[in-house]
Structure 1
Amino acid sequence: MPITEFAVLELNKPHKFHSSPILDFFRLLSKRQSEYSSFPLVFFEDSKAPSTIYLLSGWRDAEHHMEWIRSEGNQELLQLLGPYLHVKELLHLGIDFGGLPIEGTEYLVFKKYQSENDVDAVDGQRASNIAWSSLGVNVESDAGIVYQIESHKREPSLEELAGERKGGKLVEIISMKHLEL
């Protein structure tokens, strides 16, 4: 089953995404990984914490991604990027990345719910700002936690994001802005 890779990367201080040589390394990562997986990579930065970078991409399945992680090409990239960042989290979501209209998306909101029942409770309060939305679970866990990725037409306000927390068991909500390579 095709999946979506959702990686949380933390830049070490004082480094920034668009500074040299980091941007060059991200371009190389994007080129190599997309050649291996046949899916593009997209990067977003946390609206509240610009040192947090989110990488989204697609894979044929989680095992194919794990093969890439173990590959010589990826291990070399990890060594190059090691002084500049660390991987905080990696999820394999049961969302077909190829089915996401991610091209042209400027703002994403990533939500984590305790269960699928909680999504409906919060989802009923959706704003007209949402262009598309997709739900999935971590394919490597049976914890019942549900993840939602939403594309927003404009940057969501703090009030909109706070309003999403009413009525359900929303564990985490992250607002992010697209980064150009």
Structure 2
Amino acid sequence: MPITEFASLSLIPPNTLSDPHVVDFFSKVSSWQSSSSGYSLTFFTNPAESAEIHLITGWDDVRAHEEWIASSRNQELLQIAEGFLNIIGMVHLDLDFNEFPVGAESLVCVKSTAATKGVSEEAKSKSMASIPEYGWTGHGKDVQEISTGVYYFAESDAHFGPEDDGKEDMHVRTRLKRVKFT
């Protein structure tokens, strides 16, 4: 089963998503990385934080991604990005990327930071998805167990309970809007 890479990046001000060097950079990332991985890349921005960019893609496994990270092409991309982009974080999720809605224009991501020990995946999934028949949903844990918690994704905010449910410390909700770099 292919895994899903979920990377969070941040533009360094005064850089913006529409700057030609930013567009060119992400176009290269998309082309070069997808030719290495065999999976398409999707990019999303956080409308509440215009400097945030989230990259979502697939890999056959963590080792394949690590080989890409060490490659000369990726190292070239990292050098290009050095002056205008920060890496906030990245996880490899046990979410089958073949099931990911690569054409989705928007998503909601909820990271559950609550203790997950002893709670079944089915119970966690049911607690987060209140209207499961409305669009795609998926969830995954970090396969390397570097981070704790579970990442839940849905095409609709209706899948998740009210935002102010008294559990702010347990869930971090981010609305994501598709961005294309052409």
The C-alpha deviation readout for 1:107-131, integer Å capped at 9, x for no partner, is 111111223444433323x387x41
Could you say what secondary structure the match of 1:112 adopts? strand
Say which SS state the counterpart of residue 17 (structure 2) adopts. Answer: coil
Q: CA deviation at 1:147?
A: 1.2
Letter in 2 for 1:134: G
The percentage of aligned residue pairs carrying the same residue is 32
Q: Which residue of 1 aligns with 2:57?
A: 57
Shifted more, 5-14 versus 110-119: the winner is 110-119
Offset of residue 146 of structure 1? 1.5
Task: State whether structure 2 residue 137 is matched by structure 1 residue 133.
Answer: yes
Q: Report the counterpart of residue 72 of structure 1 in structure 2.
A: 72
For residues 5 and 91 of structure 1, do their structure 2 counterparts lie closer, same or farther at Cα, with a shift above 3 Å needed?
Answer: same
User: Once superposed, what is the RMSD of the aligned Cα atoms?
Assistant: 2.4
Matches within 5 A, 1:92-171: 92-103=92-103, 105-113=104-112, 114=114, 115=116, 116=121, 117-124=123-130, 126=131, 130-141=134-145, 145-152=149-156, 163-164=162-163, 166=165, 170-171=170-171
CA–CA separation in structure 2 for the residues paired with 1:31 and 1:163: 38
Shift in Å, 1:145? 1.7
- Ranges in structure 1 where 5+ consecutive residues have no aligned partner: none
Separation of aligned partners in 2, 1:74 and 1:63: 15
| Counterpart secondary structure, 2:49 | coil
In structure 2, the partner of 1:84 is 84
Alignment of 1:26-41 (within 5 A): 26-41=26-41
Change (3 A) 1:121 1:166: farther
Deviations 1:26-70 (A, max 9, x none): 101110000000001110000200100000000001111011001
Q: 1: CA distance between counterparts of 2:127 and 2:161?
A: 14
Contact 2:110–2:173 (CA<8 Å) still a contact in 1? yes
Residue type at the aligned position of 2:142: N
Q: CA deviation at 1:102?
A: 2.0
* Kept after mapping to 2: 8 A contact 1:122/1:165: no
> Between Structure 1 and Structure 2, how many residues are aligned?
173
Partner AA of 2:105 in structure 1:
E
